[in-house]
Structure 1
Amino acid sequence: MINENSFGNSRLDYIRVANYYYKSGLTQEEIAKNMNISRQRVNRMLSKCIKMGIVRISIEGVDETNLGLETELEKKFGLKAVRISGNVSEENVYEEIGKIAAEYLAGIISKGDIIGFSRGRSMSALVDCMPAIKSNNVTITQLMGGWNNEQTKIKVDDIVHRCSEKINATSTVLYAPVVVNNPRLRQAIINEPFFYEAYSVIKSCSIAVVGIGDATNKKILPTMEKEDYEYCIDKNAVGEICAHFFDINGKEIKTPLDERVISVELEDFFKIPMRIGVAGLKSKIPAILGALRGGYINSLVTDLDTAQILSQK
């Protein structure tokens, strides 16, 4: 056998090993046999070939995608996944982001998953674009109560029903409003057996798919009173997820509204393994940034302009 302490001391040795592996298609085991050295030595030399510049790896088409930016954001914010659509306008942002989000969600659904949804146009667009797939023992549920005074397609219960039909899943709903008139009524609802059963499904969610609301939008929650909105703004709220408000650093903002809201408890929400935030446009950057910094989401679907700005924060 060649003296391994001496073999690999010249650049030609590395070029020869690289040529065998990348050009001739030999396995590391075959190279080791040919060169009369150990397979571990071959492996180390191949790794060093890249560092030495002998081997340069290029991936066809990667420059035409946003993979580099997606990876950068994943690393920057400690995310499990980032998916980026192309440049969008305010007119088509929901459709384009919804399309990317639907592709991503369809690719990660596994047998036995329980998927919870919030409300909103991003969620509705996602369901519109969701491919018809045959899921296996999957349940779709809502993460928050609903309300009657908004467009049907963006209501959380409608989103749950439409998604379950598309992927042949079971659906569960809360049958409760998102905001009630007083804390006593809220307590009465959550003490009901029907609510307990529905909430037990929410607590078992493996995936949450949520929109990220802009807290400076006065219509963020249709049933929100003026004093509730002003309170949140006074406390520097920038974003909202499932009726839970937070500031630019992701710190939770407790509000009087909390005592009247019927939604997944924040403690239970954070226990959901996969939490996908779907949101875009520059106007929502503070809200998205707060959600990222606070760990409200661990996966993000957004547009290119927003992603580029987030990468500089």
Structure 2
Amino acid sequence: MRTEERLQLLAEIADQYYEQGLTQNQIARTHGYSRSAISRMLNEARDKHIVQIQINYPLQRDRTLERTLERQYDLQSAFVVKRGGLPYRHILRRLGRLGANYVIDNLPDESILGISWGTTIFEVSNALTTARRNFDVEVIHMMGTIGKGDPFIEGHELVRSIANSLGGKYHELHSPLIVENKATQKALLNEPNIRETLDMALDADLAIVGVGSTDTSISTLMTGGNISKEEMQNIQEQGAVGDICLNHYDQDGKVLDIDINQRVIGIDIKKLAKSSCRVVGVAGDERKASAILGALRGGFLDVLITDTHAARSIIDSNGGTEK
């Protein structure tokens, strides 16, 4: 049997078992196989990612930490997922589910949704695929595209997937994310198509963004091979603790006048913060606490979705007394 025929058979058997609710014995009689052969095929379908099983654990939240964050940083809302002993990759999925729920519950019809990039926004996108809704929405990718990384995390597939899940249209920023110098940045930002897309992003009703860290163990920009460890360390040495849409800022939330910021094609987060757009930050883990704290101090976020590890680090950063 040819490979494509085998995959089609596995998909049919998986559909009969998982979607139609047939027993393995019923499927075996339909296809002329033994029940044990059907069992092996179902396992093969999972191994070849024809079937993907997602377990939606209850999202337990810490209301006390949520209220504290809202009060200390004048947030419209905070959502804090209880972390326990979960590894980072598992908590990312839960943050993604909360982010997707927030979008579905708060996105108005006939609206504009801005998105950034990264592993957390990828998990938001994944969660949206299981809760398809039809909105009259235009989804804007607020950054250029690196082009050499994972397109589902860094590029056009991310904005396309979210738009498809929401039943809307999407707009890409047809530009590289990082250019050679400030002169090239200025020229591209003045290009009519790029300027029009970024102006549309500033008119967004809602923007959902990841919060990047300069911690080399967790930075998507570095771990994706987009910049070297030495370059990231140089960015750290210039005072950067985090970024939103690659606008790097310091621990006080001041956007820095450094080389990387002068070469990025994307939304200006200071302008976004001054707009009427509600900006939702989705990020967790204590390694991102400094980056999240800087974003809060800079006033870049209206809503924060995070986990207990990051929330406690943020609140404790100034003795839990910061307003």
Smaller-chain TM-score range? 0.7 to 0.9
1:194-273 matches, cutoff 5 A: 194-217=193-216, 220=221, 222-224=225-227, 228-272=231-275, 273=277
Q: CA deviation at 1:159?
A: 1.5
Any idea what SS the aligned residue of 1:139 has? strand
Query: Per-residue deviation at 1:71?
Result: 1.6
Letter in 1 for 2:76: K
State the secondary structure of the residue aligned to 2:89: coil
- Cα deviation code 1:175-228 (max 9, x no counterpart): 111101233333332232222222221121121111111113266355446775
Q: Say whether residues 1:124 and 2:122 are aligned partners.
A: yes
2:297 maps to: 293
User: Are the counterparts in 2 of residues 83 and 101 from structure 1 also a CA contact under 8 Å?
Assistant: no
Q: Which residue of 2 aligns with 1:134?
A: 134
Query: What does residue 54 of structure 1 align with?
Result: none
Query: Please, which runs of 5 or more residues in structure 2 have no aligned partner?
Result: 1-59, 318-323
Question: Which residue is equivalent to 1:103?
Answer: 101
Q: Which runs of 4+ in 1 moved over 6 A?
A: none
| 1:15-26 matches, cutoff 5 A | none
- What aligned pairs does 1:178-189 form with structure 2 within 5 A after superposition? 178-189=177-188
- Written as runs of structure 1 = structure 2, the 5 A alignment for 1:154-165 is 154-165=153-164
Give the partner amino acid of 2:177: V
CA contact (8 A) 1:120 1:156 kept: no
Deviation by residue 1:26-55 (Cα, 9 ceiling, x = unmatched): xxxxxxxxxxxxxxxxxxxxxxxxxxxxxx
The answer (yes or no) to whether the contact 2:147–2:155 under 8 Å persists in 1 is no
Q: For the residues of structure 2 that align with 1:191 and 1:76, how far apart are their CA atoms?
A: 39
Aligned length, in residue pairs: 249
Cα distance per residue 1:67-118 (max 9 Å; x no partner): 2321221111110111122213123121111011111121101123211111
Deviation at 1:145, TM superposition (A): 0.6
CA distance in 1, matches of 2:290, 2:255: 14
Assess, with a 3 A threshold, how the Cα gap between structure 1 residues 269 and 156 changes in structure 2: closer, same or farther. farther
Measured against aligned partners, the alpha-carbon deviations of 1:242-299 in whole angstroms (never above 9, x if no partner) come to 1111122212211122222101123322134311111011111111111111111121
Instruction: Check 1:71–1:117 CA distance in 2 against 1; reply closer, same or farther (3 A cut).
Output: same
What is the DSSP-based 3-state SS (H/G/I as helix, E as strand, rest coil) of the residue aligned with 1:275? strand
Show the counterpart of 1:112.
Answer: 110
The corresponding residue for 1:70 is 66
Structure 1 residues 162 and 237: CA distance shift in structure 2, 3 A: same
TM-score normalised by structure 2 residue count:
0.72
Call closer, same or farther: CA 1:254–1:216 in 2, change over 3 Å.
farther
Give the Å deviation of 1:65.
4.5
How far is the alpha carbon of 1:124 from its aligned partner?
0.5
Out of 277, 280, 288, the residue aligned to residue 276 of structure 1 is 280
Partner of 2:209: helix, strand, or coil? Answer: strand
1:174–1:75 Cα change, 3 Å:
same
Take 1:280 and 1:191, find their aligned partners in 2: how far apart are those partners?
35
Higher mean displacement: 83-92 or 203-212:
83-92
The 1:68–1:134 alpha-carbon spacing in structure 2 relative to 1, beyond 3 Å, is same
Partners of 1:207 and 1:166 lie apart in 2 by 16
- Over alpha carbons, which structure has the higher Rg? 1
Q: Shift of the alpha carbon at 1:236?
A: 2.1
Amino acid paired to 1:159: L
RMSD, matched Cα? 2.0
Equivalent pair of 1:236/1:247 in contact (CA under 8 Å): yes
What TM-score, normalized by structure 1, do the two folds share?
0.74
Question: Which secondary structure does the structure 2 equivalent of 1:263 belong to?
Answer: coil
Distance in structure 2 (CA, Å) of the matches to 1:293 and 1:242: 17
Residue 52 of structure 1 is matched in structure 2 by: none
Instruction: Describe the SS at the equivalent of 2:72.
Output: helix
- Hey, what's the Cα distance between the residues in 1 that align with 2:226 and 2:63? 40
Query: Using the alignment, how far apart are the partners of 2:293 and 2:226 within structure 1?
Result: 25
What letter corresponds to residue 312 of structure 2 in structure 1?
Answer: Q
